[in-house]
Amino acid sequence: MSDKHKAIFLDRDGTIIEDSGYISRPDQIKFIPGSIEAIKLLKEAGFKVFVITNQSGVARGYFSEDMLQTIDKVMHRHILNGGTHLDGIYYCPHHPEHGVYPYKQECDCRKPQTGLIKKAVKEHNVDIAQSFMIGDHSCDMEAGANAGLKTLFLLTGHGEKEQSKVKHKPIHTAKNLLEAVKWLLAQ
């Protein structure tokens, strides 16, 4: 009965904020220039906007799940202060080889697997056909493609070194999130 929503799935590190390794404290959050503006443009264009992020630093013991949630809250506060918002932040704290149970496990949510995207799709009634995944890593492109999304690739973060590893060709490659979003909204 309810309408389906078009959505953008964004990676976090190297896409919205700088990827400085494993971010383990809120004061390490540094926004990539233009990324809050990009989220604002997407919201104004009627997209739901979700973050889909691998955070194996939890499994590896670099930071706790509580700290991860604090970091995400602080990031979102900055986004709210910028006059826009995210519709959800979905993270995978697992790793198949590192850490201890329950974080050490073969999960279905660590990108390139699709568990987190599928969860957001279900919880928010997302129309896959009108939706996109954007990120700086080959696993983002694969997760997006595996979930049936069109993908956009970024040269921020790990983008430069990951570009040759991307198997599923994105519909567009951009120098950063804002450029990617402007391109997408001009189509």
> Which are the catalytic amino acids?
11, 13
Nearest to Mg ion of 130, 173 (CB atom): 173
- Enumerate residues 6+ apart whose C-beta is below 8 A from 75: 12, 16, 17, 26, 29
Query: What are the tokens at 183?
Result: 């391109």
Q: How far apart are the C-alpha atoms of 38 and 20, rounded to whole Å? A: 21
Strand order in the sheet with 132-135: 88-92, 48-54, 7-10, 132-135, 150-154, 172-174
Tell me the per-residue interface mask from 7 to 36 with Mg ion, x by CB under 5 A, - otherwise: ----x-xx----------------------
Query: Within positions 129 to 158, which residues make up the interface with Mg ion, using CB under 5 A?
Result: 136-137, 157
Nearest to 136 by CA among 177, 186, 100: 177
Considering the complex, what minimum distance in angstroms separates the CB of residue 164 from Mg ion?
16
Minimum separation from the CB atom of position 135 to Mg ion (A): 5
Please identify, using beta-carbon distances, which residue of 21 and 83 lies nearer to Mg ion: 21
Q: Which residue is nearest to Mg ion (CB)?
A: 14
Residue reference for tokens 């987190």: 116
Q: Compare residues 13 and 179 and give the one whose CB is closer to Mg ion.
A: 13
Whether 117 and 147 have beta carbons less than 8 Å apart is answered as yes
Quick check: 110 binds Mg ion (CB under 5 A)?
no
To Mg ion, the closest distance from the beta carbon of 11 in angstroms equals: 4
Instruction: Give the binding site for Mg ion (CB under 5 A).
Output: 11, 13-14, 136-137, 157
